[in-house]
């Protein structure tokens, strides 16, 4: 592992001394995840949270000591660390040397073994299975035996989809993407893909679901793009709306509506809300100092000016918001401002504008938040951002701009102005629904019967969680407000940011040209979804996740289960006579399925994906232990056992195909076609594991689901999307190298090498078929090669075998 790494101190039985701490952290994470609560004792922090946070702070303040897989623990720690009292405590007490002296006691070594390398013992840690009661096992078996008769009738698809009294009505929106550019992977995972997973899951639960999105087409960004391309704003909108729609269609996003904001309905609804606000005294008039470009002879809207952020010093801050620190700013506060059109320095001049009186709306807003937040699934970052705004005090917010491309302001003296895009962009959800159905108010003026889920990146939180609710509350027209505000952190690209101008990163229209199927992109983006902290797209990690989790774990299990039915039983599911071990497996799968439901109901999308992979691992282990390929050649009892194992395994594969549907819809449909899964089972996912493929059921033709991603293929794509800044130097013919991966990526490979090594050892100990052993040895050698490449070590092409 390299001479610069400290050796792991060994305890009894080869256990590294960090293991007790690791187990404790894993236990806390498991507890938070199972309870589906943001804090140890419920929805709000308690003394237990504060005490534990203070104890762990010396270790966990360094992200390197908190692995990504402990997602619930990470979210809990970040939420507490972002609160002002904890920040003060950290600055005044915990960061002093006295507290830091605790770190050696906690960690015992420079890097935890699960990040930097295992202890000397290479024995893998067995996955801990929950202890099951006899009652739980009996309930799981009873549900299994009922089979397809447990399924309720499939609800027919409505057109249009409308709320139904007495049912669960779920309204889902993803933040409207600006029409003026092509979305990159971060935009896709932050909004449309995350919302799509939840929409598909909601439909599997038979909830009455409407999922909508559309292009945000008004504002300065569109005018700027039109000037750049020599087109009118409308022509720009028409062009890029089609580009967006094509990208989302390729990613298999299941919108019920994908609309636009440049419609008469947008004007009508926006002006109605505005006039109701005016009539109730929630709109102010004031003179505003604005930047005016004398060279261009016009006032500069926010996106026509950039400069240095007055808060953090970021040199490319926009006139409305800093992309680095996230703070909203006024353009005149920018240091060293420049007109983005001609690059001249603008001057400050006055202009009359309208303001939403947020201080006057503060009380109804806080009353609404007090009712909404306790029972809702607002993400911790969304809660923190809104609390910060309220803590700092609400200020009147300008809602008009000196532009031509926008919704006209229906007020005397302001006819030459339009609404600020962030006043009317969120109203776009309403107008897009109104263009879908003239009964749109059944969704948007029905808070008693509709649950509104809104998906976005964290920079959109103030507008969805504060500005629009204030507008709707002030309009006093019984609008449906957000019940569950789901905000992601940011997705970066490798070691930097996405940049269309520099050619850095993968954008939506490029992904389909890589030769990698859309479902693989969906899987990887959801696997690294930035739920509790920023994450980064990595080509090396994408290769690892595809080859280990999809190819070797999920795909391997489903293919084996189907192939055993075809090869040993003529394509018909065999009779199953369950043993106590089989019943226990049913209960474990049921438990993991229920955990999957708990997580997705809380919109913990990334964590729920792990439940699918966990069930697949259980399936692989079950097949490996019971060896149906051997038992089928034995006695009558052995053949019966092979049938039971095969039948149970193929039913687990069927369950996985349904659980996969929100994440990988094409792969899900492929599995269901191969297994000939009965149609009712494809459309409904209950909380119990059912026998959906009974004995005698005939399956179809089974074939591999996934293809291996090769190192040279991935390296080529990395170079292609690197912006041409780093040209690869020529490699000697006999040497292959690769960019060094991060510690977590290396650890994933190390785990795979360990697991594969154990498989090879077991096969050799059992004196298995030589061809089977050779195949597994080849996998092991390939994994070792990937590990060496990930560590940046050159691989010399062997010219011949060396003597031992």
Closest to 401 measured CA to CA, from 175, 222, 213, 183: 222
| 650 within 8 A of 694, measured Cβ to Cβ | no
Residue 802's pLDDT band (boundaries 50, 70, 90)? very low
CA distances in angstroms from 242 to 37, 95, 180, 247, 509, listed in the order given = 41, 53, 11, 9, 11
CA dihedral sign, ordered 109, 110, 111, 117:
negative
Give pTM, 2 decimals: 0.74
CA distance 174 to 482: 12
Round the average pLDDT of the chain to a whole number and report it: 84
pLDDT digits (tens, 9 = 90+) for 510-530: 999 999 999 999 999 999 999
Please determine, for residue 105, whether its predicted confidence score (pLDDT) is greater than 90. Answer: no
Q: Give the pLDDT of residue 736.
A: 37
Query: Considering only 55-64, 141-150, 192-201, 480-489, which range has the smallest mean pLDDT?
Result: 55-64
Note the pLDDT tens digit of each residue in 698-743: 999 999 999 999 999 999 999 998 875 333 333 333 333 334 455 5
* pLDDT score for 166: 92
- As a whole number of angstroms, the distance between CA 26 and CA 46 comes to 20
- pLDDT of 35 > 50? The answer is yes
> When comparing pLDDT for 357 and 762, which is higher?
357
- What does the pLDDT read at residue 64? 54
What integer pLDDT is reported at residue 501 of this predicted model?
A: 66
Using the structure block, give the residue that is written with the tokens 């092979």: 642
463-488 as b/e: b if 16+ CB within 10 A:
bbbbbbbbbbbbbeeebbbbbbbbbb
CA dihedral in degrees (759, 763, 764, 767; nearest 10)?
Answer: 180
- pLDDT band with cut points at 50, 70 and 90 for residue 100: very low
Confidence tier at 533 by pLDDT (50, 70, 90) = confident
Q: Which residues pair with 307 in a beta bridge?
A: 317
What pLDDT shows up at residue 746?
64
Does the pLDDT at position 536 exceed 80? yes
Task: In whole angstroms, give the CA distance from residue 394 to residue 358.
Answer: 6
Q: Which of 781 and 769 is assigned the larger pLDDT? A: 781
Q: What is the pLDDT of residue 240?
A: 94
pLDDT at 108 exceeding the cut of 70: no
The answer to whether residue 457 scores a pLDDT higher than 50 is: yes
Domains of the chain listed by start with CATH number: 15-94 (1.20.1050.10), 169-265+421-509 (3.40.50.620), 301-345 (no CATH), 552-698 (1.10.730.10), 743-791 (1.10.287)
* pLDDT tens digits along 47-82: 788 888 888 877 776 555 566 667 778 778 878 877
Query: What is the spatial distance between Cα 724 and Cα 502, in angstroms, rounded to a whole number?
Result: 9
Judge contact between 643 and 576, C-beta under 8 A: yes
Per residue in 372-414, pLDDT (tens digit) is 998 888 999 999 999 999 998 999 999 998 888 999 999 999 9
Quote the pLDDT of residue 36.
Answer: 59
pLDDT in tens, 578-611: 999 999 999 999 999 999 999 999 999 999 999 9
């Amino acid at each position: 592992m390299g001479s610069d790494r400290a050796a792991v101190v060994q305890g009894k039985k080869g256990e590294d001394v960090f293991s007790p701490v690791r187990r404790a952290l894993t236990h806390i994470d498991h507890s938070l995840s199972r309870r589906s609560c943001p804090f140890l004792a419920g929805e709000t922090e308690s003394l237990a949270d504060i005490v534990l946070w203070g104890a762990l702070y010396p270790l966990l303040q360094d992200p390197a000591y908190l692995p990504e897989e402990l997602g619930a623990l990470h979210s809990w720690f970040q939420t507490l660390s972002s609160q002002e009292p904890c920040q003060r405590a950290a600055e005044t007490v915990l960061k002093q040397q006295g507290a830091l002296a605790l770190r050696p006691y906690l960690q015992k070594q420079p890097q935890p073994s699960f990040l930097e390398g295992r202890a000397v013992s290479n024995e893998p840690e067995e996955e801990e299975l929950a202890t099951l009661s006899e009652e739980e096992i009996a309930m799981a078996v009873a549900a299994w035996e009922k089979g397809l008769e447990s399924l309720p009738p499939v609800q027919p698809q409505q057109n249009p989809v409308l709320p139904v009294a007495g049912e669960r009505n779920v309204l889902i929106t993803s933040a409207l993407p600006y029409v003026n550019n092509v979305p990159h992977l971060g935009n896709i995972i932050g909004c449309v893909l995350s919302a799509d997973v939840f929409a598909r899951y909601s439909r599997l639960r038979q909830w009455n679901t409407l999922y909508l999105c559309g292009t945000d087409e008004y504002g300065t960004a569109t005018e700027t793009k039109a000037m750049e391309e020599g087109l009118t704003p409308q022509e720009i909108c028409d062009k890029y709306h089609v580009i967006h729609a094509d990208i989302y269609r390729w990613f298999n996003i299941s919108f019920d509506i994908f609309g636009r904001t440049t419609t008469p309905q947008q004007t009508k609804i926006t002006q109605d809300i505005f006039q109701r606000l005016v009539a109730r005294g929630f709109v102010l008039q004031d003179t505003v100092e604005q930047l005016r470009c004398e060279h261009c002879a016009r006032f500069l809207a926010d996106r026509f000016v950039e400069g240095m952020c007055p808060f953090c010093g970021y040199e490319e801050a926009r006139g409305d918001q800093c992309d680095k620190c996230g703070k909203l700013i006024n353009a005149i506060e920018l240091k060293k401002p420049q007109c983005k059109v001609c690059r001249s320095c603008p001057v400050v001049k006055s202009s009359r504008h309208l303001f939403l009186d947020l201080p006057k709306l503060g009380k109804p807003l806080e009353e609404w938040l007090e009712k909404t937040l306790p029972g809702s699934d607002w993400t911790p970052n969304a809660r923190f951002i809104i609390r910060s705004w309220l803590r700092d005090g609400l200020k009147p917010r300008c809602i008009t701009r000196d532009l031509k491309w926008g919704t006209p302001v229906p007020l005397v003296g302001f006819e030459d102005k339009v609404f600020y895009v962030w006043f009317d962009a969120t109203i776009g959800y309403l107008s897009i629904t109104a263009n879908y159905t003239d009964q749109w108010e059944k969704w948007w003026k029905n808070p008693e019967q509709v649950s509104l889920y809104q998906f976005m990146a964290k920079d959109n939180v103030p507008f969805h969680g504060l500005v629009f609710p204030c507008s709707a509350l002030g309009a006093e027209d019984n609008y449906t407000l957000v019940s569950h505000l789901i905000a992601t952190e940011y997705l970066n690209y490798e070691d930097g940011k996405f940049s269309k101008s520099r050619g850095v990163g993968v954008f939506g229209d490029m992904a389909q040209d890589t030769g990698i199927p859309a479902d693989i992109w969906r899987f990887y983006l959801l696997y690294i979804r930035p739920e509790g902290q920023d994450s980064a797209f990595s080509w090396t990690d994408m290769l690892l996740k595809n080859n280990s989790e999809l190819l070797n774990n999920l795909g391997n299990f489903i293919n084996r289960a189907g192939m055993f039915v075809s090869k040993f039983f003529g394509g018909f599911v065999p009779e199953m006579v369950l043993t106590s071990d089989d019943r226990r497996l049913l209960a474990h799968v049921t438990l993991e399925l229920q955990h999957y439901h708990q997580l997705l109901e809380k919109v913990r999308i990334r964590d729920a994906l792990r439940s699918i992979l966990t069930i697949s691992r259980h399936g692989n282990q079950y097949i490996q232990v019971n060896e149906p390929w051997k038992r089928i050649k034995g006695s009558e009892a052995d053949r019966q056992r092979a049938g039971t194992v095969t039948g149970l395994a193929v039913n687990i594969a069927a369950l996985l195909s349904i659980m996969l549907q929100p994440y990988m819809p094409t792969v899900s449909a492929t599995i269901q076609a191969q297994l000939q899964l009965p149609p009712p089972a494809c459309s409904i996912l209950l909380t119990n594991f059912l026998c959906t493929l009974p004995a005698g059921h005939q399956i179809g033709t089974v074939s591999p689901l996934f293809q291996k991603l090769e190192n040279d293929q991935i390296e080529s794509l990395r170079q292609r999307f690197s912006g041409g800044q780093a040209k690869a130097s020529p490699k000697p013919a006999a040497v292959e190298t690769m960019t060094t991966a991060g510690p977590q990526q290396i650890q994933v490979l190390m785990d795979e090498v360990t697991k594969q090594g154990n498989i090879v050892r077991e096969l050799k100990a059992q004196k298995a078929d030589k061809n089977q052993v050779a195949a597994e040895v080849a996998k092991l050698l390939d994994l070792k090669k990937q590990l060496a490449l990930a560590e940046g070590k050159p691989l010399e092409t062997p010219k011949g075998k060396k003597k031992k």
